[in-house]
Structures are given as C-alpha cells and as structure tokens.
Amino acid sequence: MNTQIRRLGLALLVCFTALFAQLNYIQVFRAEPLNERPGNTRKVVESFSRPRGTIETADGVVLARSVASDDQFRFQREFPEGELFGHVTGHYNFNFGSTGLEAAYDSALAGQTPEIDLATVSDLFVDREQVGNLAITIRKDVQETARAALGDRPGSVVAVDPKTGAVLAFWSFPSYDPDALSAHGDSADDARAMLEASPANPLLPKMYRETFFPGSTFKVVTASVGVETGRVRPDQPVYPVLPAFDIDFTADELDNFGGDPCGGSLFDVLKVSCNSSFASMGAETIGPAAMVAGAERFGFNDRPPIDLPAPAASRFPTDFPDNQGNGPLARASIGQGNVSSTPLQMALVAAAVANQGTIMAPHLMDRITDDQGEVVKTYEPRRWTDAISPETAAVIRQGMIGVVEDGTATRLAIPGVEVGGKTGTAQLGTDPPRSHAWIIGFAGPPGDARVAVAVMVEGQPGASEQTGGRVAAPIAKAVMEKVLQTQGGG
C-alpha cells in the first residue's frame, strides 16, 4: 500500500512539475509570439479599453481624443476637426486597424514608449492612465487656408519649412471624416465600404501616397543637375530658338506649348519653360548617367522619410537603351514619359533650392508630452539628402525668382517678399485636352525662405504652359502668405 501511495505521489509531483514548467514556458518564452498571433484579439481588445493621448495642432486645436464609450469598449476615439485633418490623423478601428498618425505613433499615444515609461517611473503608485499626447507641426488656420484655396477641385497642397522639414500644410481633396471609420460596430464597416467604392478614392492621402506626372516643375531638377555637373551655366550654353525638339529614330517631335519657338540661356528658358531647350539640356548637355544620379540625389527612386505610413516613392527612369535614341531622356527631362512624383516630393525639390541644396527629412511630429503635460520627446531636425551644392542652389534660386518676376509664375508674387517658383502642366493626352496644373515655390525675406510649397490640381481643362500659373499659383500664394503671417513675416 505504501508503495502504491508513493508511486501516486511521485506521479502527481511529475504532473505538477510539468504543468508548472509549461505555464512558465508559455508566460515567459511564448508570451510575445502568442500576443502577436493574428487570431489573438486580446491585445487589441485591451488597447481599445484604454484611453489614448490627444493629437493637437501647432496652435493647440485638438484633432483626436479618447472619450467614454457605453459599448463593449471603455473608450471611443473622436476626431473633432473631421475631414480637415482626416488624411493626417488617420482613423482607429477595431476591425481594420489604424492609419495616419494614429498608426505611426500608436505606441506613444498608448503611453507605451520607453520615454513615457521613464517619465512616469516616479508615479508607479499613482492611480492614473499613462498616455502620450502628440503635438504636430501644422496649424489649423494654415490647413484651412489650403482647403479653402483648393476648394472642391481634386488635388493636393503641401507646404514645408525648408530649414527643418516641418510640414506646415498637408491637404488633399477629397478627404474623409475619420469619425465614421473609427466608430464601434457595423457602421464603420459600411462607411469604409462606401468610401472604398468611390471613384475619387477619398481614403487615399494623395499628397504623399500617389504619384503624378510632374510636368515642367521637374525642369528645376534638370536645371539643377546641369549646373551641378558644370555643364550648364547662367550664360552657357545658349540653346537655339526652336518650336520643337527633334526626337531620334522617329518623325515625332517634342513640341513647345502651342508650337511657339523659344530658346536662350538658362534663365531665359526657365522663365518661359521651354520644352525644346530643357529636352536638349537633359538628353544632350547632361546625359543619362548624370541625370539619373542627379534626380536620385533629390530623392527620386526612394521613399521620403516622413513619419507617416507607406509614403510612395517618386520615380525617374534609370535605363535609357542606346537603341531608343534621345526620346526617353528628352521626355523625362521635362517631367514627362516615365517620370512620376508625389506632391510632397516636388515640395521637397523647392525646399532644396531654398535651403542651400539640402533636403531635410519631412515630419509632422513636433513633440510628445505625458498626461501631465511634461515633454518627453521633441523632434530633432535631420538631413535627408544633399541634392545640390549651396552654389548651385543659389543659381537655381535666382532663376526661380526670375520666373515669378517675369515668367510663367507671376501670380505667385507676394508684395514685399522674395518668392521663387516654377509652373508645370502635365498633359493627360485627352480630347479635349486636360492636364494636371502644378506649381512649386518658396517664399520669405530676401535670402531667408520660410516656406516651400507644391500644389497640384488634377485634370484641369486645357494644356498650355499657363495652366499651372493660372490655376495652381493662386492656391500656393494663399498658403505661403498665411504661413508667413503666422510667423510674423507677412
């Protein structure tokens, strides 16, 4: 009998030991994989039952906050400014996740970063929820100006501080109301289905996640590469006055707008946006290797390091076979062919010229504070790429100022302010003609640009080089004026 009891006791001890070992193995070694398992919603349910920090504009307007909920979760995410910042904040949904800043700063808003943990270590025994509050670089009044100036025309408006990379306006129309997609229950699924079915694709933040033909705004890149290589100077070469550029191996020609003859030295052809001259500059003066390298120094063929999910890479072709002649590079040099760009990228092109050739990493985060208002993290500006030398930037800056003073971008001028710009009209090949109207530029006190912009208005009637200056320039001007006003510089 004693033998049987001992055996039973030993068997129970083995079972308890195995159970203890398995429990510890699961809790210690398997905890993270199990928490991250796709079918495990426990972590998500837990996060939706806790408050998140606020998102606020640079002028203190609340864009996102947690409010009490009376359903299966304790809290509901609320977006008081709706579609004005929909593409910036993104939405926060239990079933289909989060986007925008809600996704990019998820850990910070949930109060689960090392900085917030360290800041609250002395309050371990205080009964309060630990969250992080995010302050961004955009002011509400500047964003409202961008929305009002663009109106109900599909397009995008981007403004950045060329010295720091801070995003100052980030608007794309159409937008959407993130409240509808952040609701608990079936209504959010219905709202999402309706928005996804819309041909206008309002869920897509086109200012940084969709690319378009940049048209003649890309000539700033071509001119910059030409000057940087030493093959183009303000006075040389002098391009012949022609109505079109002759394309090899074909009867086709790359026409100037309206077939108008144009030519001359760098500043002359920049003022009138001369296709034949810039096609020759890229294809014959500069050449493919230098054009590819130069475009990539501006950030093409790379994703800009903005603190938002999945930015699109702008594209410049890298392969120009000899048997295709000069046509592909000629077209690419004037922003046609296989060149595509986001509005954000073209704003950064203007910023490079305004900032002595350096492009700073674009960003929306200004600072993160804890729930007591103590700053736990601030954004430190950082360089993304050196596109051109300061000397080259000074030359192109002078040329872009000339485009505003006496060229295609006169509508961009602001009295008492130094303004440079470049228009663009990206023809869509439709009948009747339609085009994307572009403008890029910068503004500020002489030698001290405070804002760089890109505006793109989709599918405008007509296809003349004046389209960008007529349609996009007044929008960019209004935004730059508002930025300078808020900075005390206009």
Which residue among 216, 277, 280, 314 is the active-site one?
216
Q: Residue 449: which of 405, 408, 484, 423 has the closest Cα?
A: 484
Structure-token pair, residue 80: 């008081």
Backbone angles phi, psi at 364, to 5 degrees: -110, -25
End-to-end CA distance of the chain: 99
319 within 8 A of 328, measured Cβ to Cβ: no
**How many Å apart are CA 95 and CA 41, to the nearest integer?**
10
Long-range contacts of 387-390 (CB under 8 A, 24+ apart): 387/224, 387/297, 387/298, 387/299, 387/349, 387/352, 387/357, 387/358, 387/359, 388/224, 388/225, 388/227, 388/228, 388/297, 388/352, 388/353, 388/357, 389/228, 389/357, 390/356, 390/357
Q: Which helix (H) or strand (E) holds 10?
A: helix 2-24
Residue 435 token pair: 């085009």
Contacts of 17 (CB under 8 A, 6+ apart): none
Does the active-site annotation cover 216?
yes
Q: 275: buried, middle or exposed (CB in 10 Å: 19+, 13-18, 0-12)? A: buried
What lies within 8 Å, CB to CB, of 47 at 6+ separation is: 110
Report the DSSP beta bridge partners of residue 67. Answer: 76
In 3D space, the residue among 461, 449, 402, 472 whose CA is nearest the CA of residue 157 turns out to be 472
Catalytic annotation, residues: 216
